[in-house]
Amino acid sequence: MTIMLLLGQILVSQGDGVIKLQEPEFTNTSLEECIQGRRSIRNFKDKALDLDQISLLLWAAQGETDKEQGFRSAPSAGATYPLEIYLCSQDGVFHYLPKGHGIKRTDTTDVRGKIAIAALNQKFIGAAGCVIVITAVFERTTWRYGERGIMYVHIEAGHVAQNIHLQAVALDLGSVPIGAFHVDKVADILKLEDEIPLYIIPVGYRKD
């Protein structure tokens, strides 16, 4: 086991380096309120998110909603699940593992500023409490659906992103969709091999 400091809390990772997140504690905010309140927020306070918030955001993105069958929070063509989720914070880069609802640190470096530069110098990205990056392994879907699977993967990224944005509203946080970025640079920052970055979502406390 490994002792790790994350967001000011001392955590113990399993032998494989995976930190199990606590089960999501749902808010009482209605879906209609979340849809009504969603806005693109680009001014963030310099304040880290807590583990409860991170747990809910990651669950909303790709968490298992049926553990027996492995179904997740966002629909996926043929349940092929081509997407991967990375959370970047002051404590480094974390890969979300839907099965078991855990995270595994892949980098101890705070890369939010680098991602901001790779996203055409949109500096507010680096100020967000966390930056979520959605990546894809297209072959997981295209082997079954051929070229049409490419479209399915992009559609799925939209499903996941909307879940994240609405969950952010439920947590009284701000978020903004980012599509303008250098794909190769973000891939290098996250040290990706077979995955392609599709979507960047900064999430944090709104600055008044």
pLDDT per position in the chain (208 positions), as tens?
A: 454 556 555 555 556 789 999 999 999 999 999 999 999 999 999 899 999 999 999 999 999 999 999 999 999 999 999 999 999 999 999 999 999 999 999 999 999 999 999 999 999 999 999 999 999 999 999 999 999 999 999 999 999 999 999 999 999 999 999 999 999 999 999 999 999 999 999 999 999 7
Strand partners, 87: 94, 132
Q: Which one-letter amino acid corresponds to residue 111? A: V
Q: Alpha-carbon distance 112 to 86, whole Å?
A: 12
Give the three-class secondary structure for 83.
strand
Torsion over CA of 151, 188, 120 and 176, rounded to 10 degrees? 60
Domain range 21-204, CATH class: alpha beta
Strand partners, 202: 131
**What is the enclosing helix (H) or strand (E) of 105?**
strand 102-107
> In the prediction, which pLDDT does 16 show?
73
> In the prediction, which pLDDT does 208 show?
78
> In the prediction, which pLDDT does 164 show?
98
Provide φ and ψ at 118, rounded to 5°.
-65, -25
Give the three-class secondary structure for 81.
coil
> In the prediction, which pLDDT does 136 show?
98
